[in-house]
Every structure is written in structure tokens, then in C-alpha cells.
Structure 1
């Protein structure tokens, strides 16, 4: 096994408040995706909705993944004014979130 070079993943699991409309969620996702155009250390963004059959999602419905080259890049992203503005909007609509940053380990078979 080897640590993937130059990659740090930032994962956000979210459950939105019951009164958050689908349109509002769509607006938040578009704003989140646009951060990759505004914050240089953010290299990529993707998202999806939970489709698991295990029913272990604990109410989390959405997964957001951003890719950075360094943990310092995540720190720069966290402090960036565009992220801070977005985070305030996102958190106002979120019932609960979990955030995990990790460096992937590649397993070669």
C-alpha cells in the first residue's frame, strides 16, 4: 500500500433540515460546486445522494467530495472568504453534517 501523492480529500456528509426545499438544496449544491472556480487550492468537486441499501446512513442524504493537493490547501480553503460566506448559507440549511479530511491509500493487487 502507498499513500496517494498530492491528494487530500475533503468529505462532507449532510442531512438537510426538513423544511429545506429541493430548490434550496440545488442552489446550495451549485454554490458549493462554484467554489472550485473561486478557491485555487480546491482542485475538484463532486457530489451525490445516498443510494446505499444497508440503511446505515444515520439520516445523511448527501455526500460532497472536494480534492486538494495538501492539507495546507484545505486550511486555505477553510479560511477563504468565499468558503466562509458559503458555509454560513450551507450550515443554516443543514440539520447535521460530518466532515472528514483524509489522504487516500492506494492498494495495488
Structure 2
């Protein structure tokens, strides 16, 4: 019976130990790859959607991508300079980012957007 009273405490200790170990596996810093697009005025809404969906598919095709999110501009400041879309891709290392850049799926995406952008900006940074 005494052992049964200690069981919840034992399970709690095990759970906390596992959580700590999992946290240790995550890198302290991550490499963010920020991509900003402005579309040419001749690009249709369907073409924009196709590009959004193609970018969104990259994390399923490229295992080095550890995180992905995107959105469209909603800033009231008026400083966008024609940029309407922001894509944020996360990597654990420069090696992973470099593998992404030469990956066939990324290369195909580059061909898809060719001639459809009026502006593009890419910034990579290590989180602090």
C-alpha cells in the first residue's frame, strides 16, 4: 500500500525528467529565413494563391525546415514598399538552410515565382 502512495510522485518525477530532456534537444538559437514578396501587377489572384500554396508545401518536402509560418501585410504604417507577403522559415543550422536552398523542391519553387514578383527581400538571422 505504501508503494501505491509513492506511485504518483514517481510518475511526476518521470514526467518532469522527460520534459527536461526534450527541452535540452531543442537548440538554444534558431536560424530564421525571412522572405518578403511583392507581386507584379500582372499576376492574378489565382497565381498568388498557387505561389502561397507552393511555399506552404515546402516544409512537407524538405525535412531540414523545422518551422514555417506566413501571412500578408496588415501594417498601417505605409512602409511596405510594395511587399505584401511574409514567409518565415526556421532552421536549426546553416547547414540545414543551405540544404534547403539547393533542394529540388525549393529550386522548382524558384522557377514558379520567376517573373511574377515586383519585389523580393530575403533576410536570415540567428535568434538571440
TM-score of the aligned structures, taking structure 2 as reference length = 0.75
Give every structure 1 segment of 4 or more consecutive aligned residues whose post-TM-superposition deviation is greater than 3 Å: none
Shift of 1:73: 0.7
Report the alpha carbon displacement of residue 23 of structure 1 after superposing the two structures with TM. 1.1
The corresponding residue for 2:21 is none
| C-alpha contact (below 8 Å) 1:17/1:94 kept by paired residues | yes
Q: Which residue of 2 aligns with 1:37?
A: 60
Deviations 1:2-61 (A, max 9, x none): xx7241111011100001111111111111111101111011221111111111111111
Residue 48 of structure 1 pairs with residue 71 of structure 2: yes
Note if contact 1:6-1:70 (Cα within 8 Å) is conserved in structure 2: no
Aligned length: 102
Is 1:13–2:36 an aligned residue pair?
A: yes
Q: Indicate the structure whose relative CO is greater, using CA pairs within 8 Å and at least 6 residues apart.
A: 1
Q: TM-score, normalised by structure 1?
A: 0.88
For residue 126 of structure 2, what is the aligned residue in structure 1? 103
2:86 is the counterpart of 1:63: yes
Mapped partners of 2:114, 2:94: distance in 1: 22
Root mean square deviation of aligned Cα: 1.2
In structure 2, do the counterparts of structure 1 residues 6 and 41 end up closer, same or farther at CA, with 3 Å as the change threshold?
A: farther
Q: Which has the larger radius of gyration?
A: 2
Aligned mates of 1:9, 1:48 — CA distance in 2? 15
